[in-house]
Amino acid sequence: MQIVGIAGSLRKGSFNRQLLEAMAALAPEGVTIACHGIEGIPVYDGDVENDSGIPAAVETLKEACSKSDGLLLVTPEYNQSVPGPLKNAMDWMSRPPKDIGKVFRGLPVALTGASAGPNGSRAAQYAWLPVFRGLGLQPWFGGQLYLPRAGEAFDEVGQFSDPDMRDRAQQFVSGFARFVDQNGRQ
Protein backbone atom coordinates (compact mmCIF):
# COMPACT_ATOMS: atom_id res chain seq x y z
CA MET A 1 0.00 0.00 0.00
CA GLN A 2 1.30 3.40 -1.01
CA ILE A 3 0.32 6.51 0.93
CA VAL A 4 1.42 9.99 -0.09
CA GLY A 5 2.23 12.27 2.82
CA ILE A 6 2.28 16.04 2.34
CA ALA A 7 3.64 18.36 5.01
CA GLY A 8 2.36 21.90 4.60
CA SER A 9 5.23 24.10 5.70
CA LEU A 10 8.22 25.57 3.89
CA ARG A 11 10.22 26.13 7.07
CA LYS A 12 13.50 24.19 7.25
CA GLY A 13 12.91 23.04 10.82
CA SER A 14 9.18 22.49 10.26
CA PHE A 15 7.44 20.62 13.07
CA ASN A 16 4.87 19.37 10.58
CA ARG A 17 7.58 17.92 8.35
CA GLN A 18 9.09 16.25 11.43
CA LEU A 19 5.67 14.88 12.33
CA LEU A 20 5.17 13.45 8.84
CA GLU A 21 8.59 11.79 8.86
CA ALA A 22 8.13 10.39 12.36
CA MET A 23 4.75 8.95 11.32
CA ALA A 24 6.17 7.50 8.10
CA ALA A 25 8.71 5.62 10.22
CA LEU A 26 5.82 4.06 12.19
CA ALA A 27 3.93 2.74 9.16
CA PRO A 28 2.91 -0.92 9.47
CA GLU A 29 4.53 -3.61 7.35
CA GLY A 30 3.48 -3.42 3.72
CA VAL A 31 2.61 0.27 3.96
CA THR A 32 4.90 2.97 2.55
CA ILE A 33 4.36 6.64 3.33
CA ALA A 34 6.23 8.77 0.78
CA CYS A 35 7.05 12.15 2.34
CA HIS A 36 6.54 15.24 0.22
CA GLY A 37 6.74 18.98 0.85
CA ILE A 38 5.33 22.00 -0.93
CA GLU A 39 8.59 23.60 -2.08
CA GLY A 40 8.83 25.28 -5.49
CA ILE A 41 5.12 26.11 -5.89
CA PRO A 42 4.39 29.72 -6.92
CA VAL A 43 1.40 31.65 -5.64
CA TYR A 44 -1.55 30.61 -7.81
CA ASP A 45 -2.17 33.00 -10.69
CA GLY A 46 -4.60 32.13 -13.49
CA ASP A 47 -2.44 34.03 -15.98
CA VAL A 48 0.61 31.92 -15.07
CA GLU A 49 -1.51 28.80 -15.51
CA ASN A 50 -2.74 29.98 -18.93
CA ASP A 51 0.70 31.04 -20.12
CA SER A 52 2.97 28.37 -18.62
CA GLY A 53 0.70 25.53 -17.51
CA ILE A 54 1.00 23.63 -14.25
CA PRO A 55 4.34 24.05 -12.40
CA ALA A 56 6.55 20.94 -12.24
CA ALA A 57 6.39 20.80 -8.42
CA VAL A 58 2.58 20.70 -8.63
CA GLU A 59 2.63 17.98 -11.29
CA THR A 60 4.83 15.90 -8.98
CA LEU A 61 2.28 16.12 -6.16
CA LYS A 62 -0.66 15.48 -8.50
CA GLU A 63 1.09 12.42 -9.91
CA ALA A 64 1.91 11.14 -6.41
CA CYS A 65 -1.76 11.47 -5.36
CA SER A 66 -3.01 9.83 -8.57
CA LYS A 67 -0.81 6.80 -8.00
CA SER A 68 -1.38 6.46 -4.26
CA ASP A 69 -3.97 4.55 -2.26
CA GLY A 70 -4.29 7.28 0.37
CA LEU A 71 -3.24 10.79 1.35
CA LEU A 72 -1.88 11.87 4.74
CA LEU A 73 -2.06 15.65 5.03
CA VAL A 74 0.00 17.18 7.84
CA THR A 75 -1.14 20.75 8.38
CA PRO A 76 0.22 23.71 10.28
CA GLU A 77 -2.32 26.15 11.72
CA TYR A 78 -2.21 29.83 10.78
CA ASN A 79 -4.62 32.19 12.54
CA GLN A 80 -6.88 29.31 13.54
CA SER A 81 -7.34 28.13 9.98
CA VAL A 82 -5.57 26.45 7.09
CA PRO A 83 -2.08 27.79 6.28
CA GLY A 84 -1.87 29.78 3.04
CA PRO A 85 1.07 27.92 1.48
CA LEU A 86 -0.60 24.50 1.83
CA LYS A 87 -3.97 25.81 0.65
CA ASN A 88 -2.16 27.32 -2.33
CA ALA A 89 -0.57 23.93 -3.10
CA MET A 90 -3.94 22.18 -2.91
CA ASP A 91 -5.49 24.90 -5.11
CA TRP A 92 -2.81 24.38 -7.76
CA MET A 93 -3.30 20.60 -7.48
CA SER A 94 -6.98 21.06 -8.31
CA ARG A 95 -6.06 22.54 -11.70
CA PRO A 96 -7.17 21.91 -14.36
CA PRO A 97 -10.57 20.81 -12.99
CA LYS A 98 -10.69 17.82 -15.36
CA ASP A 99 -7.83 16.27 -13.33
CA ILE A 100 -9.66 16.47 -9.97
CA GLY A 101 -11.19 13.06 -10.60
CA LYS A 102 -7.93 11.17 -11.00
CA VAL A 103 -6.02 13.19 -8.39
CA PHE A 104 -8.50 13.55 -5.54
CA ARG A 105 -11.93 12.03 -6.07
CA GLY A 106 -12.62 9.21 -3.63
CA LEU A 107 -9.05 9.20 -2.35
CA PRO A 108 -8.94 8.26 1.36
CA VAL A 109 -7.42 11.15 3.32
CA ALA A 110 -6.24 11.42 6.91
CA LEU A 111 -5.46 14.72 8.54
CA THR A 112 -3.07 15.56 11.35
CA GLY A 113 -0.83 18.44 12.27
CA ALA A 114 1.46 20.13 14.76
CA SER A 115 1.59 23.57 16.31
CA ALA A 116 4.02 25.40 18.52
CA GLY A 117 1.28 26.27 21.00
CA PRO A 118 -1.24 24.22 22.97
CA ASN A 119 -3.84 23.54 20.24
CA GLY A 120 -1.93 21.10 18.06
CA SER A 121 -3.50 22.37 14.79
CA ARG A 122 -7.04 21.46 15.87
CA ALA A 123 -8.69 24.54 14.29
CA ALA A 124 -6.77 24.09 11.03
CA GLN A 125 -7.83 20.45 10.81
CA TYR A 126 -11.49 21.41 11.09
CA ALA A 127 -11.01 24.18 8.54
CA TRP A 128 -9.77 21.70 5.92
CA LEU A 129 -13.03 19.76 5.87
CA PRO A 130 -14.98 21.97 3.40
CA VAL A 131 -11.99 21.82 1.05
CA PHE A 132 -11.98 18.02 1.21
CA ARG A 133 -15.69 18.00 0.48
CA GLY A 134 -15.21 20.26 -2.54
CA LEU A 135 -12.50 18.01 -3.95
CA GLY A 136 -14.50 14.83 -3.34
CA LEU A 137 -11.89 13.28 -1.06
CA GLN A 138 -12.87 10.44 1.25
CA PRO A 139 -11.97 11.60 4.78
CA TRP A 140 -11.11 9.10 7.47
CA PHE A 141 -12.66 10.09 10.79
CA GLY A 142 -11.65 6.99 12.74
CA GLY A 143 -8.86 8.77 14.60
CA GLN A 144 -7.72 12.22 15.66
CA LEU A 145 -4.16 13.34 16.24
CA TYR A 146 -3.11 16.80 17.36
CA LEU A 147 0.50 17.55 18.23
CA PRO A 148 0.73 20.55 20.59
CA ARG A 149 3.93 22.21 21.87
CA ALA A 150 5.76 20.67 18.93
CA GLY A 151 9.04 22.37 19.88
CA GLU A 152 9.41 19.74 22.62
CA ALA A 153 7.84 16.81 20.75
CA PHE A 154 10.89 15.29 18.99
CA ASP A 155 14.30 14.09 20.13
CA GLU A 156 17.58 14.76 18.32
CA VAL A 157 17.01 11.91 15.82
CA GLY A 158 13.46 13.03 15.01
CA GLN A 159 11.59 10.44 17.04
CA PHE A 160 8.71 11.28 19.36
CA SER A 161 10.05 12.29 22.79
CA ASP A 162 6.82 11.20 24.48
CA PRO A 163 6.12 7.44 24.25
CA ASP A 164 2.39 8.06 24.67
CA MET A 165 2.35 10.39 21.65
CA ARG A 166 4.41 7.85 19.71
CA ASP A 167 1.80 5.15 20.48
CA ARG A 168 -1.05 7.43 19.48
CA ALA A 169 0.70 8.34 16.22
CA GLN A 170 1.29 4.65 15.49
CA GLN A 171 -2.36 3.80 16.17
CA PHE A 172 -3.42 6.67 13.92
CA VAL A 173 -1.27 5.44 11.02
CA SER A 174 -2.39 1.83 11.48
CA GLY A 175 -6.05 2.85 11.70
CA PHE A 176 -5.82 4.87 8.51
CA ALA A 177 -4.01 2.04 6.72
CA ARG A 178 -6.81 -0.36 7.70
CA PHE A 179 -9.39 2.12 6.36
CA VAL A 180 -7.49 2.45 3.08
CA ASP A 181 -7.21 -1.32 2.82
CA GLN A 182 -10.95 -1.82 3.43
CA ASN A 183 -12.32 1.09 1.39
CA GLY A 184 -9.76 1.99 -1.26
CA ARG A 185 -10.37 4.82 -3.70
CA GLN A 186 -14.16 5.05 -4.04
Binding site residues, ligand FNR, CB under 6 A: 9, 11, 14-16, 76-80, 115-117, 119
Smaller CB separation from ligand FNR, 119 or 170: 119
Output the smallest distance, CB 159 to ligand FNR, in A: 17
Instruction: Tell me the closest approach of the beta carbon of residue 111 to ligand FNR, in angstroms.
Output: 14
CB nearer to ligand FNR: give 13 or 163: 13
As a three-state string, the secondary structure of the chain is CEEEEEECCCCCCCHHHHHHHHHHCCCCCCCEEEEECCCCCCCCCHHHHHHHCCCHHHHHHHHHHHHCCEEEEECCCECCECCHHHHHHHHHHCCCHHHHHHHCCCCEEEEEEECCCCCCCHHHHHHHHHHHHHHCCEECCCCCCEECCHHHCECCCCCECCHHHHHHHHHHHHHHHHHHHHHCCC
Write down the least CB distance from residue 87 to ligand FNR, Å.
13
Residue 162 or 181: which CB sits closer to ligand FNR? 162
If the CB atoms of residues 93 and 147 are measured against ligand FNR, the closer one turns out to be: 147
